Amino acid sequence: MGSDFDTKSAVDEIQKTAKADEKFQGTVSTQNLEKKDPIKVVIIGGGACGMAVATKIRRQSDFEITVISRDSHTAYSHCGIPFVLGREIESFEKLIVKPRDFFKRNRIDVKLNEYVSSIDLDLKVVRTGEETYPFDKLVIATGSLPFIPFTGNTNVLPYGIFTLRNLDDGVLFEKALETVERVCIIGAGTIGIECAAALSKRGIKTFLINRSKNLLSKQLDPDISEIIREHLESLGIEVISGKLAAYPENFWKEKTLYVWDRQLPADLILLASGVRPEVSLALEAGIKIGKAGGIIVNEMLQVKAREKFLPYVYAGGECVEIIDLITGEAKLSHLGTTARHMADIIGNNITGKYTPLGPLANPWVAVAGELQFGGVGITSKEAESHGIKINTGFSRGRTRASYYPGRKDLYIKLLFKDDILVGAQLIGGEGIKERIDAFSLAIRKKATIRDLLDLETCYAPPVSMLVDPLRPAVKAAIRNIKEKKEKQIQAK
């Protein structure tokens, strides 16, 4: 859980890992000797995790690999969809990272538009409507499904209401946008905000409706999310928060969205109200699901069934629970970077290279128009729910020298548990990704207030201020800690 190790314990840990790796590789080697036929690997899901597992295994083995995907495209960037809608990327085809022919050349059999109906762990087969696939190793990378708040008597979305689960959804939504003037987006997470900025850029009147009072309420503190709200409103987007939205079953006819006591005219509605892990196949197969709603896995990303972890079944991506670095509790991660990291670990373990997954800090970043924002670690709300007392420091600075052209605002909020950094939230016009990455490392290394205060920073007018905005944020945290201590003394 990110605890400190002295030299002796570090050596012990390395030796322990080496022995486990040796034993693990020996097991895989024995399996290879026992089997004359190549090991069959079946991967359910062709998203960021599934396709990356396939290519990883191919680079490291001669196994027989089959990927079963309900999508009609291979290896594409889902995160790029809002930027195609905003016409910063010219077409959806540009989001396809590797075409189907790439996988064919590398002897990876990709089954597109094929739905898995069941997994039989005893017989070691996966069944679809078309075929039965036997496996020696199985990877479940089913991802997630959009959360759809049904408000009528049917579970079918009315015409004119869209989600963005896959590339096909993006293509359909883009086609529909060609003739509309008003769009309502339900949900102010990263996808909802990025899409709102994209549509506004195209001159489409956009309403962004959020059930929570604050935007990105699970990822940012209210004072930070308010800066994003102001930016979106400056783009002409009407932001409505703290209100529930309902659409009529005959939306295609009424063209109206009901938000509390208002009736908003809308040609289209985009549902961006979050996702839920797709675990139905795993659940039906008897695989254990955790409290956070995802598949329970061990450090090797092997699933649990019948009260034990199965050495031949792995799971990764959005459908899996990870351990939070700060709280130590299970949670879900919807990040493409996490899915890709898991793919490497699964690929290594399947091919005999023991690789564990440790607790994660979940650094993330998003872009809406000219504004970048993101964070890492826990928020104030999350800390409160876990009984963690925190101290915060906030600063506002610039990304360049005050006299240098093109300077942009930069906001930094730091969260400390005692004197140790446990969270960071940033907003600005540039350089946010790099700063979040640095804070991610600082959190993992348990950097203290003193460490950050002593940090040496570089300077050049086109890329920074002489006094980096980090420093006043740290000093603000120190002042807040002193004030709390003084109040506690006075209270006594």
The radius of gyration computed from the CA coordinates of the chain, to the nearest angstrom, equals 25
CA distances from 408 to 427, 430, 474 (A): 10, 7, 21
**What count of other Cβ atoms lies within 10 Å of the Cβ of residue 109?**
14
Tell me the C-alpha distance between 209 and 239, whole Å: 6
Question: CB of 40 within 8 A of CB of 135?
Answer: yes
Question: Structure tokens of 246?
Answer: 């309902």
Question: CB of 378 within 8 A of CB of 415?
Answer: yes
Tell me if residue 79 is catalytic. yes
Among the options 49, 79, 319, 458, which is catalytic?
79
Helix 190-201 vs helix 222-234: angle between axes, to the nearest 10 degrees?
20
Please enumerate in sequence order all residues whose Cβ is within 8 A of that of 217, keeping only pairs 6 or more positions apart, or say none.
210, 225, 381
Which helix (H) or strand (E) covers residue 345, if one does? helix 336-350
Of the candidates 41, 42, 45, 166, the residue with the CA atom closest to the CA atom of residue 115 = 45
CA distances from 65 to 135, 143, 203, 210, 403 (A): 9, 19, 46, 43, 58
DSSP string, 40-106: EEEEE--SHHHHHHHHHHHHH---EEEEE-SSSSSSB-GGGHHHHHTTSSS-GGGGBSS-HHHHHHT
Q: What length is written for the chain?
A: 492
The b-or-e profile of 67-105 (16+ CB within 10 A means b, else e) is bbbbbebbbbbbbbbbbbbbeebeebeebbebeeebbee
Which residue numbers are catalytic?
A: 79
